[in-house]
Amino acid sequence: DIQMTQSPSSLSASVGDRVTITCQASQDISNYLNWYQQKPGKAPKLLIYDASNLETGVPSRFSGSGSGTDFTFTISSLQPEDIATYYCQQYDNLRTFGQGTKLEIK
Amino acid sequence: QVQLQESGPGLVKPSQTLSLTCTVSGGSISSGSYYWSWIRQPAGKGLEWIGRIYTSGSTNYNPSLKSRVTISVDTSKNQFSLKLSSVTAADTAVYYCARERSRWILSSNLYYFDYWGQGTLVTVSS
């Protein structure tokens, strides 16, 4: 099984800050990684697919990078509506989600 | 616009079988390159992929749940279903159904969950 480790598990930042979340796979998954945003009481929403491709309609302040085992998700300028929990998900072998990163406003 | 809606009992007794159905509207479950998945989330915890089905009937399951899970599809009703047997309190969670899209870009086959149901809470308790 492929394990996905996200860090940090929680993060507090100010509006306008640059925010970075990392996701590490337990084995090489090439670029087979997606990022989702989940707000309380809602289903997850796709933000980034294939490690670095922005889903249609998603603001350009969101970006992703990485390949192999190490991936990064970045919000270039944090907005109040970005408060949510973010998950990485691999699809190289079956499907596995990271444990999530809860983002709060400082 | 594709929509997914979960339905089924909100309360299941320990050792019994949890049964949920996902109804797809706004498109045929048989069309396109899509897989149909179940994902769950215990309260305050992360997402766990349970398994998926293609309209041919081909399935893939999470190894940790494989012995207890069955996912099936009814194309005539535009629905797919989840059965999870021998449930315990650890199976209490919000259960989501989701569509997973498959796309070929250059030489890579990409997959991602693009549509989700709203989720349904299933509690396992006597």
| Residue pLDDT tens, chain B, 126 long | 999 999 999 999 999 999 999 999 999 999 878 999 999 999 999 999 999 999 889 999 999 999 999 999 999 999 999 999 999 999 999 999 999 999 888 888 899 999 999 999 999 999
Residues on chain B bordering chain A, Cβ-to-Cβ distance under 8 angstroms:
37, 46-49, 52, 60, 62-64, 96, 98, 105, 108, 110-114, 116-119
Q: What's the mean pLDDT in A14-41?
A: 97
Q: Determine the Cα angle at A90 with ends A84 and A92, to 5°.
A: 170
CB contact under 8 A, B46 and A98: yes
Distance CA B27, CA B10 (A): 27
Q: What is the pLDDT of residue B31?
A: 82
- Please give the interface size between A and B, counted as residue pairs whose CB atoms are below 8 Å apart: 58
Per-residue pLDDT tens digits for A31-80: 999 999 999 999 999 999 999 999 999 999 999 999 999 999 999 999 99
Distance CA A8, CA A22 (A): 7
CB contact under 8 A, A44 and B118: no
Q: Which amino acid is at B93?
A: A
